[in-house]
A = this chain, B = another copy of it.
Amino acid sequence: MANPEPAPPVSAPRRTEAYAPGSIGNVGPGLDILGLAVTGAGDTVVAERIEGGHIVVIDPGHPELPNDPTRHASALAAAAVLRRIGQASVGIGLRLRKGLPLSGGQGGSAASAVAGAGAVNALFDSPLTPMELIEVALEAESAVAGRHADNVAPSVLGGLVLIRSMDPLEVIRLPIPEALYLVLAHPHMELRTAEGRAALPTQVPMAIVLHQAAQVAALVAGAVTGDVRLMGRALDDRLAEPARTPLLPGFAAAKAAALRAGALGCSISGSGPTAFALAEDRATAERIAGAMAAAYAAHGLASDTRIAQPDLHGLRVSTA
């Protein structure tokens, strides 16, 4: 009756592919606690079983990303899935297609982790729930970018996600108006998450504490009730944005240009350098994108701009 090494289920796929969208972390005043998945760019991981009992990064997705599985977000997340499901000795090969910029502030490391976790989970017929996938991707994110869930959670769940608590982890997926346009402007410079984080104060004056809490609450209220203009007013971050603006040449000018062009609000995506602006319609979003690119150019910075909407799906997995 002993069956020490069960065969994989007949239905288990040999090769899976998972797409995880990029996201705006630290949405405005929502430092570490509010994230929004957005359409248009994300990371894709193809996973397959291989011989040898190890995780191998066959394609790291970018020349600057390591092949070392202990330093690659997708591989770290894959290893965390295997540990969680008790399959740590299975060999897995990973190929990443990197759709998001490195150190761009668009949730790239989180998307790599989520796609890695999702693809490997699917190889075993998806035993892990979305909440468990957030937990394992968070383990990987912690190793490469710091322990915050405001990119990982929306990348898994889609939409706007509030992190109420880290210990224990509680995330709340919020309704959000679909007719919401986001302009992402990525100036060609890199800013490591650690650098953006080191700029933050350790103690905060009470008036700012109350202001920030009121803005995060107003942003959530605007999202849930469909009041996009309220969301724009609530993007009034007086904590991280003032601390990080000096690290981000051109940001202040790009924000001013966005607001003049009709943005409802504008702030830093993640810890930057990407800036994002909120718009009510696509035509205004296009004007804003042009204005932000021109402002960065005036500061000697080339930039990519794109127009996105909330990604309401999050992680998508397919098997072959």
Contacts and interface: CB of A to CB of B under 8 A. Distances in A.
Interface of A: 29-34, 162-165, 170, 172, 174-175, 200-206, 208-210, 212-221, 224-225, 230, 233-234, 239
A172 B218 contact: yes
Contacts of A224: 220-221, 224-225
Contact of A206 (B29, B203, B206, B214): B203
Given A172-B221, A213-B213, 17 more contacts: A29-B213, A30-B217, A32-B210, A33-B214, A162-B217, A164-B230, A164-B234, A200-B206, A201-B206, A202-B206, A208-B209, A209-B212, A216-B216, A217-B217, A220-B220, A220-B224, A224-B225
A172 B31 CA distance: 22
B175 A217 contact: no
A219 B217 contact: yes
Q: Which of A33, A162, A204, A218 has the most CB of B within 10 A?
A: A218
A16 to B, nearest CB: 34
**Number of chain copies forming the complex:** 2
A160 to B, nearest CB: 10
B202 A205 contact: yes
Nearest to A202: B206
Nearest to A210: B32
Q: Which of A34, A206, A225 has the most CB of B within 10 A?
A: A206
A266 B71 CA distance: 44
Contact of A214 (B163, B175, B202): B163
Contacts of A217: 30, 33-34, 162, 164, 213, 216-217, 219-220
A251 to B, nearest CB: 22
Contacts of A206: 200-204
Nearest to A170: B233
24 contacts: A32-B210, A33-B217, A162-B214, A164-B214, A164-B217, A164-B230, A164-B233, A170-B233, A172-B221, A174-B225, A175-B225, A202-B205, A202-B206, A203-B203, A203-B204, A203-B205, A213-B213, A213-B216, A217-B219, A217-B220, A220-B220, A220-B221, A224-B224, A224-B225
Contacts of A219: 217
Q: Which of A205, A214, A217, A233 has the most CB of B within 10 A?
A: A217
A209 to B, nearest CB: 5
Nearest to A205: B203
Nearest to A148: B210
Q: Lowest 8 A-B CB distances belong to which pairs?
A: A203-B203, A213-B213, A33-B214, A213-B216, A164-B218, A224-B224, A216-B217, A217-B220
Contact of A230 (B34, B172, B201): B172
B162 A31 contact: no
Q: Which of A32, A165, A210, A234 has the most CB of B within 10 A?
A: A210
B33 A213 contact: yes
Contacts of A30: 213, 217
Given A214-B162, A215-B164, A209 B170 contact: no
